[in-house]
Chain A
Amino acid sequence: MNRKRRLLLLAGLLAAALLAVAAFTLRTPAGPSASAAEATPMAAAARTSFPGLVPAAGEPDLPALHTAKPPKGRTAQVAGPFDDRLVLEDLAFDGSAATGAVRVTSDVSDVLELQVLAGFYDHDGALLGTARFVHHLGSDSHNHAGPPEERETFSIAVPAKYLGKAVSAAVGVPVLVNE
């Protein structure tokens, strides 16, 4: 093979190689970091773990319940994260249950989730224990077929072991979600 033929062959090989590179590049998906994206399965994009986040240990608490001193025979309101979205109405305590109603003032749509947490107190104002009212839209007892309701009544019974000891109650709302 003379020099001229070798040069032509070399040039042809170079062109073929560049053609291959170009063709490969042109058919490659072209996001900003396409190669990185291709190397990672789509499912891996989902963020499913959060190092450092401590999983919940149970149902929500309201710190204010632990310092409340509700008057005897009454149900008082304690602070919760959603107090600017609701009004507690008709709060009462009859020795067996804390009763009342939550009226949502921030939305006119279905209440998806609502929890009213009650603390019960003895004669000395010590917190005996808690119980809660839970509303979950779609559960058997809370499936509103009609228009959205803004008012949810609740009755939270004194746990059996505190009956006769509880003389007052305090309630707050740790969970509220509207549609």
Chain B
Amino acid sequence: MRAFEYTSPKTVADAVAMLSSEGAVALAGGTDLLSLMKDGAASPSRLVNLKGIRDLEGAHRTDDGFRIGATTRLASLEENPTIRESYPAVAQAVAGVGSRQVVNMRTVGGDLCQRPRCWYFRSGFGLVPMHEGRSMAKIGDNRYHAIFGNSGDAAFVNTSSLAPPLIALGAMVTVSGPDGERSMALEDLYRTPASSDESEFTLAAGEIVTAVTLPTASAQSATYDVRNRKGFDWPLVSASVAVSGGSARVVLGQVAPTPWISTAAGAALAGGLSEESAAAAGNAAAEGASPLSGNAYKVQLTRVAVKRAAMAAMEG
């Protein structure tokens, strides 16, 4: 690990200013960043600790929904009665993380900005690793890589635990940067980079996530993830389902470079939750998958995860 400068601002404005310099990186729970630094996959010259900014922490009801500050820890989210009762897909996503140490430390903003677990990326080959003009993930071992959204060279998967349920529930994300504050649909935070020079986030230089807001709950929702070892593995596939009135949203995690909204699966559930519509949604979610040489199993797990998430939402 290389030497770095450590700063701990008290306001968002100060944090944004400190992050504007080259090589500065935001630090919250540290569950991802510190392992990247230890592995040599990140070597920031300055860490800007966000945990000293009081405004960023805490989750509470608002007039038109529910606001979650960026440095709110997963553990406090899990314990929040509103989350448990009104947004079960979020609570179930946290429960799936399993490792108490991670749940206690990881923040909501950190989870949304979790870097890929792709082993080529973690070994220092970059976000879109290339070998003699070809995508390393496509020619190499890709059992955990993308089965959707992989038509370009990027084949890593987005591994945020919270993005699928939050997007399914229609969350907005607020970001602050040198040009002030802006809000957008959470799915618009993510993009698929064409090369390792590009980011997987739409954040501008110096911008940080400050909060997520959920609309007032009216949906039945659930999350289901499939892991090799429950407790401390990353999921192989996760699925979040939210059904409200005559519409439904199905969002997959771990299958594409971004959280993956399956409109076909959503359509299959729009008429209501039943055993039949759950199975149909599972099959619909797997349609159009483009598995790589070693990850066809994830297509099957997509079917299973969506079906089980829909069943869980129905059983509420």
Pairing of A with B? no
Chain A residues close to B by CB (< 8 Å): none
Chain B residues close to A by CB (< 8 Å): none
